[in-house]
Amino acid sequence: MDLGLKNKVIIVTGGYSGIGEAIVREAAKEGAIPIIIGRSEERGTALEEELKRQGFDCLSVVAELSDASQCSNAIQQVLAKYGRINALVNNAGFNDGVGLESGSPERFLSSIQNNIFHYYTMAHYALPALKKEEDSSIINISSKTGVTGQGGTSAYVASKAGQLGLTREWAVELLPYKIRVNAIAPAEVMTPLYEKWLQTFDNPQEKLHEINKRIPLGKRMTTSEEIAYMTLFLISNKSMHTTGQIIYVDGGYTHLDRAIT
């Protein structure tokens, strides 16, 4: 299926690793122009150069997303080179394990700054450009934990729940501009950060097997590419009448009856 994304400028925060990297790579294959935004110049540049060697157009922009001025500067760099933004994919963030018992007010605030502040800030600064395009959209990559909770991760879960709330709020606010806003809520996805977490267990393979057993469809984790496919479909004009939705790409993990697992 041709998604009609050729030459669409798609910003992806946290785009050099994990789910973000998969979105960038698949966007390039669709003929879009992915913009890789993150704090690591080395990793962003390496991915940009690799994609350019393969004949794809893309751009890496270095930004510390917890700093509003750097978010603004990143948007301006994109506009200076391409003159437009067709889609924003808010993706960057990580589970830092700031719990109610184990955390502190200071760590909680810092986690919120790292995990949800830039979702708002990037959308705020990208909005004037998004308004100018005929069919533009925002995708918030969230998590099923924003609905289910997890335990021991108060700040991360608060951020993920907030991202889902912002999705619905922005979908309403941006209706007059026909800017579609949707969220994707993965559950268990094997990313470098997830792999790092698995390695904290005495028997990582046993823990992985335990997790896989709880995933109804196929008894396996979702791949980053499967999140990317849904992201690009939601950006595309194949889903022009879809907005304000939370899409669970999770093998049925969140909603199917636990009795079957």
Cβ neighbors of 72 (< 8 A, separation 6 or more) are 121, 125
* Closest alpha carbon to 97 in 220, 200, 202, 237: 200
Residue type, 153: T
DSSP per-residue letters across 179-232:
-EEEEE---SB--HHHHHHHTTSSSHHHHHHHHHHT-TTTTSPBPHHHHHHHHH
- Catalytic hit among 125, 156, 248, 253: 156
DSSP per-residue letters across 65-104:
TTSHHHHHHHHHHHHHHHS---EEEE---------TTT--
The answer to whether residue 156 is catalytic is yes
- Report the catalytic residues: 156
